Each structure stands twice: as C-alpha cells, then as structure tokens.
Amino acid sequence: MNNKFFAETLIRWYTHQHRDLPWRQTRNPYYIWLSEIILQQTRVAQGLPYYERFVSTYPTITDLANAPEQEVIRLWQGLGYYSRARNLHQTAKHIAYQLNGVFPSTYNELLKLKGIGPYTAAAIASFAFDEAVAVVDGNVYRVLARVFGVDLDIASSQGQKKFAQLAAELISIEQPALYNQAIMEFGAVHCTPTSPDCLLCPFQGVCAANLTGRVAHLPVKIKKTKVRVRHFHYFILMKDGQLAMNLRTERDIWQQLYDFYLVETEHSDATLDSLPLPSFLQQALSQSVVSQPSETITHILSHQRIQARFWQVALPPGFDLELPSSLRFFTQEEIDELPKPVLVSTYWKARFFE
C-alpha cells in the first residue's frame, strides 16, 4: 500500500466518522495542550468535563499561571497522576512570565517545556501550528502494527524506532493536523484493542493483520506492568468539630494533596498495637476514644493497589497536642475546599455526611 493511499483513506474516514470534541474546534495551543494533558491516561468521557472546567475557570494561560497551585490541584481532583497538574501549572507560569505569554510553536521548542514529551509536543505542533510531525500514542501503535503487520514489541527500543520511522514516513505533509487527528481517532473508535470493526473497515482488503488472522495478536506488548500493593492505615484526629489533615509533600503519589495521618505497613495483618506509631499519635490514642477500624477499602491506581483502613480518634475537647508540621486541624467547610485524593474524599463524604 502506498503512503498516500493510507493517509487519504484515514482522512476520508475521519471526515465522516469523527467525534465532535471541543478541542478539535480550536487552533489555540493553550487549549490543545490542556486537552492533551488531561487526556493522558484518561478516557475522553471522563476528561471532557475537566477540560470544560479548566477552560472556563482559566480562559487564558495567564489566568492559569496566576492561580494558586492548590486551586489548580483541587480542580484536577479525581483525574489522578497529580504531577500532571503541577507540571501544567509550572509550565503555564513559565510561558506566561518567562516567554511573555507566547506559546512555543515548534516541536523542538515544545519539547523543552516541563511535562511535555514527544507525543504531546507532536500533538500541539501539528494541531495548532501545522508542523508535519507524527504523533505516536497507543492508538497509533495499534493501527500501524495491524495495518502494516509490524510484530516488534512496542515497548522495545527496536520497536519504538520502527514505529516512529513508519509514522514519520506516513504523515501527510499537506494536512498533518488532520492526519494526526485521523489516525488517533481511528485507533480510538474503529481499530480498537478488543473489538476492531474489520468488516466495515476501509483497510479491510489491505490490512496485514486482517489478511493473516493476526488482529488479536497485534500490537505486541511484552512488558507487563507490575502492580505494587500498599497497606495504608489512616488516623482521623478529631477535635472540637475539626479534623486534622495532612499535606503530602514527599515524592510519592498524591503530592500536594491532603489526606489524614497515614501509617503505612508492608503487610495487611497489622493490628493497632503492632503498628509503628509516632509518639504524638501514641499520646493522642491514650487520651482519646478510638473507633474500630473501618472495613478495608481497596483503591486501584494504574500501578498500585491501595488497601486502606481508617481509624477515627476523638480527642478530648481542648486537648493540646504537638502535631507534625504537615498536619493541622481544619473545619468541614475548609476540608471541602482542600484538594484530596479520591480515596480520602470518598471516605470523608460517606462517613461525615451520611
């Protein structure tokens, strides 16, 4: 199959079949960048309301740059991978203040920005500035592997080199934005991982995977992601109608979000007596009414499975306790405004507003 036929067929398919999404109606690099960062590891249906909220709260990159980080993270709450929100905010500040609000317009310049990798740089450069640089994401790997019968592991360096080379050869020089949109959309809605519509496919007669019965085997992805299981024991210190919330500052999940005081163990079978508790907490527990632990709640992240239990610790009124610097008491109204991981937010709402 020649390259022109491939690109033209995709663009023709896209013209008739694509979903009408708001970031496709714009050439504004700021909006395109927002949509691409939100949609990383997020389905379109889940990401769409976040995109709309960000655009209406921060209509320009300067509005985003001027916002307090906590507010940005609060708006991001529920999307996970919070480093994306922090990078988004830092890059907005860099563009607004160091680059005078002018969004870099080439692939190479975009790559220098924090939180922007080859895929996002290619997306912004092509969608906003018509640069002929090919996007290569999971959808593109799948379409190319199947149509051209490439059976190299997509996680291997050899595979990545081959796919990048193929993608660069295939992109339409005349219509790079449309071509990139088309191949990503085709992978997302037509040539899907488990139910590709081969019967009604414009590549049916030329697709190598279809012709050789290898659709279910391509693309080849050998590396399996290891899931880490973590055991969280949360202590909810309550005093005078307020709860102690902990600002997470370490390099870990949920950085700059608030949770309760956390004790983590290697194993699930820890009892209250066997937990490694700091002295301030031991002192608090000795003076307080402590609830039975909650049922274990399982919270799934992409590479981690959190098994969490919660203890409520009702401190005596006016009890004076020296807390770690990351922990302080907040009213319910204040907690409502704090950025919190979904696990904490869900438990807090269910327990305190049931």
Q: Applying CB under 6 A, does 189 fall inside the site for ligand SF4?
A: no
Q: Applying CB under 6 A, does 231 fall inside the site for ligand SF4?
A: no
Judged by beta carbon, residue 67 or residue 215, the one nearer ligand SF4 is 215
Q: Applying CB under 6 A, does 209 fall inside the site for ligand SF4?
A: yes
Rg (CA), the chain: 25
Judged by beta carbon, residue 4 or residue 112, the one nearer ligand SF4 is 4
| Contacts (CB under 6 A) with ligand SF4, residues 128-157 | 146-147
Q: Applying CB under 6 A, does 201 fall inside the site for ligand SF4?
A: yes
Count of residues touching ligand SF4 (by CB under 6 A): 14
Which of 87, 96, 121 lies closest to 106, judged by CA?
121
Applying CB under 6 A, the span of 99-107, 171-179, 203-211, 311-319 interacting with ligand SF4 comes to 203-211
Q: Applying CB under 6 A, does 191 fall inside the site for ligand SF4?
A: yes
The residues assigned a catalytic role are 36
Among 30, 50, 203, 235, binds ligand SF4 (CB under 6 A): 203
Judged by beta carbon, residue 52 or residue 197, the one nearer ligand SF4 is 197
Residue ranges binding ligand SF4 (CB under 6 A): 146-147, 190-191, 196-198, 201, 203-204, 207, 209-210, 215
